[in-house]
Structure 1
Amino acid sequence: MTQEDTIACEVAVLGAGPGGYSAAFRAADLGLKTVLIERDPTLGGVCLNVGCIPSKALLHVASLITEAAALGDHGIGFGAPRIDLDKLRAHKEAVVGKLTTGLSAMAKMRKVTVVQGTGAFRDPNRIEVALAQGGTATVQFEKAIIAAGSEAIALPFLPDDPRIVSSTGALALPSIPKRMLVIGGGIIGLEMATVYAALGSRIDVVEMLDGLMPGADRDLVRVWQKHNEGRFNRILLKTKTVGANAKRDGIHVRFDGEGAPDGAQPYDLVLVAVGRSPNGHRIGALNAGVAVDGKGFVPVDRQMRTNVPHIFAIGDLSQPPMLAHKAVHEGHVAAEAVAGKRSFFDARAIPSVAYTDPEIAWAGRTEDELTAEGAAFEKAVFPWTASGRALAMGREEGFTKLLFDSESRRVIGGGIVGLHAGDLISEVALAIEMGADAVDLAKTIHPHPTLSESIGMAAEVLEGTATDLPPAKRPRP
């Protein structure tokens, strides 16, 4: 392409992450001429290339290392793992490569035009693209879908040093540090801490709040924290990182707060995982008249439409939570709305998962939210100490919790902590979406012995029909 190139289309999609490529592919499937603009060489965005997919590849390896070590308690012994970082990186990249290759093929099948470069609005009907190979091109559109995502938040008081990384840098596996600091006790930080701990690093986690994994119920997090007491060196809560100096022997970090250690602490690698910032201010939105709030979010309605009727926004920059699966559904809604369909985003539950060890997953309302609101609800818990499958796997530390509306007894939320919690939470999300009540779940026959039956058994606890637990204490007449 040259500087004079202009590409005309019916729909322009800015950003090819999970939401963006899903929107572009859906629009193409609906017969619209579609252009997909992406700054990176491959489709998939942060999630596929340097986020959720490569991290899960590494977390799988970490889980195998942990399970192999635990087998010693069951009479099976292995030697210490020998880690080949080059092969491990190659495995991670191979997983990513298979998916990105597949996406490129599907774009061609749908005749979606992919333009590689950084795009910004010139006016309400044109996006100017600084092409990766040099020069510029203009995409002229009838309607547009913004899917430009978010960026990792940096801490400006930290020095510029290759030993201080974001999640992208941590996923590159530059080395296996002896001492590693994770700044931020959210999901991203704890997932990467899980990987590096399994590889042999001693981990400190610092979090300014009074608990890890904000958003998850505290009872779920406590199980994770107890299980990981010996895996991490220190978890510093109610503590801030206030400064650091780069020295030859490491990054010397200073802390302040309730859990702060005395003096600066040296680390070989520092991961900054304090959240992400939406890219609303980085795409020339004002040139198109698109409103952007102070945080960088682009306000939208239930059809993902911005204040400019023919421009839509999805994913991280449209509204929290910043989750790939939410972005995909929003992308479908936006593409269908562009095509004139009466499609709306009205999800009752958006599940969240921390792919740590053990995993933590939740959907719908949380117990902490309901309690803070003073809402009337009922709770039922099935402990995995009563699960035959969990006991057989030696992983009975978890539990399944369901939350019900007090009047209708419909499922309004649920949380699971334990092995494969992320796979199990989908049934809870479906129950919320379908308006299922305790009887619906309790009477659904689950296969035995599985972890999934803990969901049905939790519902039985509420109904008073659970026979896998001691009888409930009943008040005397």
Structure 2
Amino acid sequence: MVVGDVTTGTDVLIIGAGPAGYVAAIRAGQLDLDVTLVEKDAYGGTCLNDGCIPSKALITATDVAHEAGNAEEMGIHADPAVDLAKMMDWKDDVVGQLTGGVEKLCKANGVNLLEGTATFADENTVRVSHSGEGQGSETLEFEHAIVATGSRPIQIPGFDYSDEPVLDSTQALALDSVPDSMVIVGAGYIGMELAGVYAKLGTDVTVIEMLDSILPGYDDDLKRPVKQRANDLGIDFHFGYAASEWSETGDGIQVVAEPAEQAAADGGQAEAVEDEALELDAEKVLVAVGREPVSDTLDLEEAGVETDDRGFIQTDSRTRSNVEHILAVGDVAGEPMLAHKGSTEGQVAAEVIAGEPSAVDYQAMPAAVFTEPEIGTVGMSEAEAEEAGFETAVGKFPFRASGRALTTGESDGFVKIVADDEQGYVLGAQIVGPEASELVAELGLAIELGATLEDVASTVHTHPTLSEAVMEAAENALGHAIHTLNR
């Protein structure tokens, strides 16, 4: 302890107020624990301020503009004018409403809010440095700690986010003008979502990717409609290339991409289509090659907390690190980096500290990609189920056979259900199409409850709705779908 420091104590110290941290704080407050939540930037973390919420706001806004300008077959002729400044103001208002709500909820549940940066001094003490000249620091002793410091964009050599033409995802969500052209490095979910946003705003978008396809980790049949829609938007792709450098030109920048000779792709190899380097002219370059945990700023070694070689804090099913009274939740605790996964872990961590028999069950953890069309998945894929030893029953229903999908003008994609053939239990689902992120929740519930194909198929769904596709996919797996041919 530094002489002159103020030392205070708390039952539960939580470092980071993103979806994992603030949920842990609120739940711990509900359980009558004395809770202190330390945040250095903004309540709500990356998700609310710089990620999930602002990106979905811009996706929605650009979708509205694009659909209005491309609805001739419905008899609608329009040429929307986009006011980007006004769009960004609206996005910021949404963010402000949610982050303000987080702060109010924390206070209402008795959480002590502390602004600053926390670092471990030992396994029961942190020092909190306050920002601003003359603000100083203080020492905080705790019985339990929850690390929820999240993640940050990975930076690749030669592309410094402090250089004006080089953007990370946060900066790409706050531009004050629409770039004429943009190179996006990385075709994962962040790169693909933002490629769609800027293509719909009129930007000439080029995506370069080290691997051999978009959205690594997703099945080809899910990716195919997304790639086709991106092509329809005029997005260009170069697979098997890695960005190596950029330089200024007379009217913008030039990005150089070298062949990635042996880039791993879902267990395979990706090879460049051409042997020569690419030289791509653009106004901006967005680097979206993934995220890394924020664990190197915490002095974890002082508390004896171990990380893996990527910097993730290893935890058990009860979110405990190797130091039992120090827990970790959210992105800093490992893949998948999903806000709802972090929130679930945050609730579990608070309940574990309170002595409840709580643990995280990842079996029905959904994931979504907000591309056009959307992708939603939960549970096992067909290949994963077979690898786990199940004899599978698979049902599929195309949105082109859905009356409601046709009336929305969005009929690409399908619902696919994977079940255990012997017992009929739903094991997983993959959806690509309109509102996939919403529809997948029904199948997550089915997995959580141990529902069978018969349960889903016999549940009456409102007509006409997109959710009927879920019912029909279950019926297809049983061999008696009405509106599509059965296998």
TM-score computed with the length of structure 1 as normaliser: 0.95
Cα 1:299/1:83, change in 2 over 3 Å = same
Residue identity over aligned pairs, in percent, reads 41
Determine the structure 2 residue equivalent to 1:394: 409
Distance 1:370 1:114 in 2: 45
| CA displacement, residues 244-298 of structure 1 (integer Å, 9 cap, x when unaligned) | 2233422211123324676411111111010111122221111111111111111
Alignment of 1:426 onto 2:428: no
Aligned to 1:232, the other structure's residue is in SS state: coil
Q: 1:368-447, aligned counterparts within 5 Å?
A: 368-370=383-385, 376-447=391-462
219, 228, 245: which one pairs with 1:243? 245
| CA displacement, residues 159-213 of structure 1 (integer Å, 9 cap, x when unaligned) | 5521111100101124211111111111111111111111110111111111111
Distance 1:369 1:183 in 2: 30
Distance 2:120 2:277 in 1: 50
Distance 2:154 2:411 in 1: 37
Q: 1:179-328, aligned counterparts within 5 Å?
A: 179-257=181-259, 258-259=272-273, 263-328=278-343
- Asked if the contact 1:151–1:279 (Cα under 8 Å) also holds between the matched residues in 2, the reply is yes
1:75 counterpart letter in structure 2: G
Determine the structure 1 residue equivalent to 2:371: 356
Cα 1:263/1:344, change in 2 over 3 Å = closer
Distance 2:233 2:368 in 1: 20
1:412 counterpart letter in structure 2: L
- Asked if the contact 1:13–1:36 (Cα under 8 Å) also holds between the matched residues in 2, the reply is yes
Aligned to 2:116, the other structure's residue is in SS state: strand
Distance 1:469 1:451 in 2: 15
- Asked if the contact 2:65–2:82 (Cα under 8 Å) also holds between the matched residues in 1, the reply is no
Aligned to 1:360, the other structure's residue is in SS state: strand
Alignment of 1:20 onto 2:21: yes
Alignment of 1:74 onto 2:60: no
Distance 2:55 2:372 in 1: 13
- Asked if the contact 1:3–1:136 (Cα under 8 Å) also holds between the matched residues in 2, the reply is no
1:182 counterpart letter in structure 2: I
Distance 1:251 1:408 in 2: 59
Q: Which runs of 5+ in 2 are unaligned?
A: 260-271
| CA displacement, residues 185-242 of structure 1 (integer Å, 9 cap, x when unaligned) | 1111111111111111011111111111112211011011112222133111222222
Of 12-21 and 259-268, more deviation after overlay is shown by 259-268
2:207 counterpart letter in structure 1: V
Aligned to 2:121, the other structure's residue is in SS state: strand
Determine the structure 1 residue equivalent to 2:102: 103
Determine the structure 2 residue equivalent to 1:161: 163
- Asked if the contact 2:183–2:280 (Cα under 8 Å) also holds between the matched residues in 1, the reply is no
461, 466, 470: which one pairs with 1:455? 470
Aligned to 1:154, the other structure's residue is in SS state: coil
Determine the structure 1 residue equivalent to 2:64: 64
Aligned to 1:229, the other structure's residue is in SS state: helix
| CA displacement, residues 375-419 of structure 1 (integer Å, 9 cap, x when unaligned) | 642321101111000111111112111111233221111111111
2:118 counterpart letter in structure 1: G
- Asked if the contact 2:390–2:420 (Cα under 8 Å) also holds between the matched residues in 1, the reply is no
Alignment of 1:147 onto 2:162: no
Q: Which runs of 5+ in 1 are unaligned?
A: none
Q: How many residues are aligned here?
A: 469
| CA displacement, residues 333-361 of structure 1 (integer Å, 9 cap, x when unaligned) | 00001011111112312111111111111
Aligned-residue offset at 1:373: 7.0
Distance 1:213 1:30 in 2: 40
Aligned-residue offset at 1:142: 0.9
Distance 1:262 1:308 in 2: 48
Cα 1:374/1:197, change in 2 over 3 Å = farther
Cα 1:430/1:123, change in 2 over 3 Å = same
Cα 1:111/1:374, change in 2 over 3 Å = closer
- Asked if the contact 1:249–1:266 (Cα under 8 Å) also holds between the matched residues in 2, the reply is no
Aligned-residue offset at 1:310: 1.0
- Asked if the contact 1:164–1:271 (Cα under 8 Å) also holds between the matched residues in 2, the reply is yes
Distance 1:452 1:21 in 2: 32
CA RMSD of aligned residues (A): 1.7
